[in-house]
Structure 1
Amino acid sequence: MLSDLALPLSRKQVASIVESQGAPLALWSGAVSSGKTIASLIAFLIRLTVAPDSGLVVIVGRTLQTIERNLIDPLQSTALFGPIAAHVHHTPGSSTAVILGRTVHLVGASDARAEGRIRGATIALAYVDEATLVPHSFWMMLLSRLRVGDQSRLLATTNPDGPFHWLHRDFIQRGTEVGLTNWHFTIDDNPSMAPSVVALLKAQYTGLWYRRFILGEWCLASGAVYDSFDAKRHVVDLMPRMRRWTAVGIDYGTVNAFSAVLIGHGDDDHLYVASEYRHDSRTAGRQLTDAQYSTAVRDWLANVRPPGEAGQGVQPQWVFVDPSAASFMTQLWTDQVAGVTPAVNDVLDGIRSVSVALSSGLLRIHRSCAGVLGELPSYAWDERAAERGEDKPVKINDHSADALRYALHSTAHEWRPLTRRNLEVAA
């Protein structure tokens, strides 16, 4: 099977593939783009050919969509798997696939309720994508379902999390006791990555994210969340003409502050936090209704002066709103505000998106945005939560930071290519 592949493999990848065949629990952990997923998928395919018919084969991910994107799409790529790809069949949205002639069940496990999807099943072979994102209760249920004697196998991949995460604490550190074999990968272990791409990826991450996603360390989230923020580098007094007004991010608050942040894509291919509306009921002495906030936001946008243009008023393509603010979104729709949609509120992924935009030098913030500039330097990780195995920022003075996260992370697929171009120019 290895001879059919269309890509080179490192010695570490080959060793992990071979050694995993005899391991009850096999885990590939470490940096992003380090080759661990390819190695683990090859190991899975080999094991699939000998998996007992008396049990199910399952692939587990956070959602069906992430399974399709992270695993099924690569398996169907002839550029990666050569002629093997022709033997991977899946209809998008279906909860099963046929791989090498074997039916494979695709199981989304985004919360503890997912354990009901495998309860009572007998599983011969399981593959888990991004194991740290799977609920602990689901993982333990999955282990209890590996019931085909000593022939059952569980293979998994993950990027590192905090050192107190249950996967690190209860399994990696106790590998011999629990039958887990772990292979640690860094970004330099992938022979398919061009050195220039590796250098660009290393430049995109700083601090916590660099240690976890480049070095592959299980390290504690501590200190400043946005440790790459530098007022000299990121704060500007002048902005270029905007190619388009990408988005507004809104963090809704009644007792807490309400913040709206406007993002533009400049002619110089940088993103700009160009303007901000903020209402703090505690300092203002009065709370506003949904209708009053809607009027305030529309008036604010109507009075923004686009740089390099004679008139005033902007029309953002999207207005991303705190998903919990359902009534406010209804008010905006009633007032016929265009592009209103719930923001993508994956906190850690969103923080990482903002961090990449800052560390790459892509994001710049106009000096008038006092809320954003006041919160970013003091936005910190909750160290008590980290000691419990959770990565959480301290929920204090974070309203403009959240609004910025909504706008950037919800449009990350659009601006991510600009980070590479910006880093290449800087180099």
Structure 2
Amino acid sequence: MKKLNIVVILLFISVTSISQTLTLQECKELALENNKVLKKSQLKLDASEKIKKNAFTNYFPTISASATAFKSSKDFLDIKTDAMDLPVYDGNLANLSTATQFAYVPPISIQTLDYANTAMVTAVQPLYAGGRIRIGNKLAELNGEVTQSQYNLTKSEILVTTEDYYWNLVALNEKIITLKNYEKLLKELQKEVGDFYDAGLVKKSDLLKVQLELNKIEGNKLKLTNGTEILKMAFSQHLGKPYTENFNVKDSLTTILPPQNYYAETGVALKNREEFKMLNKAVEAEELQKKMTNGELLPQLAVGVGGMYLDMIDQDNTYGLAFATVSIPISNWWGGIYKKQEHKIKIDIAKNNLAQNSELLQLQMSKTFRDLMEAYKQIEIAQTSVNQAVEYQKEMEDNYDAGITSLSDLLEARAISQEAKDAFIDSKTTYKITIANYLLAIGETQF
């Protein structure tokens, strides 16, 4: 039973270890699922949806209820009359002044209305509000579209950052491999020089030169290892996953396609940019705000129904109500003229921003594509340097074996070859990251 448990534990550790080696696609999925910046953007998108739903409720009647109750310290109606004699007559006004009989009326005192209880419910349905309800719903919908564009932009930026982390980690992994290969060659050389030294064929200084070069490699390995671990920690935080030592990436920098595979016309690509969409929405929003102002200057018509309960003077009654209201904002017309002019100016500003920033966005696309072509050219240059450095190294190795060149020249040739290989890795990494930035610039989906 214990053996079975050990096997299960080892299998779990093995599966966990494998699952920590991720592809670029898996890293993108994790970033979109867990990244905190994107979660914040998603919450804003959810809030904009609630705003749209809230604006839609303005199409429905406004229902309100109220209740009032009061008790006074003294009666509101306090009526007192003195005693009096009222003339009695036959109904002919001509005989009133000569009446001979009178009816005695005693003094009267009336005190009441020291409390009242009322309750009312009304429902008001707007029939016409200058189009403001419809425009308000369009503004809420427009706000949702802008928020969606902001979310898409944040998502794209996170994917580019993911590629940045990913390809830099790939590059560090490849540099570690080339450094270990270089170290292996030096250790073989160290053994060879050590044998020559033991045989008295070379000086001790030659052996020390190889050892010094190995010490440099040891220092570089330490720097690469620390840099790799720090990058993994930052990458893990970006992906929203706990950092583990066995976390790594799968790809290599072998597949390199030319820039023409990614090129897009700036005029066509401009329509895909979220910033361009938001600039257009800004113009539309100002136009809707102007229409909203126009609606504020128009008459408003509403109808309503209601019910009221009244309890006072020891009587309670219920009443049904139906009413209509018309409101004409006469005093707003003077100031409204200037407000409409203000909105016209704001529309012109938004259109100017659209034109100016559209040019800047296209300029950015052109520049990023030039950066892409330059990065691709740097790969070709770096590849040529590697070929020449390897050829030079081979020649120095042959000359050293033939005894016609010094150990220092051989070490220098191998160091040059190592630097050329590192520069080649850096150029390919830069190109991969520049591809991601160019796709972002032309509004291409990278997921």
In our comparison, the structure showing a higher alpha carbon Rg is 2
Q: So what's the TM-score if we normalise by structure 1?
A: 0.19
Return the structure number with greater relative CO, CA threshold 8 A, min gap 6.
Answer: 2
Q: So what's the TM-score if we normalise by structure 2?
A: 0.18
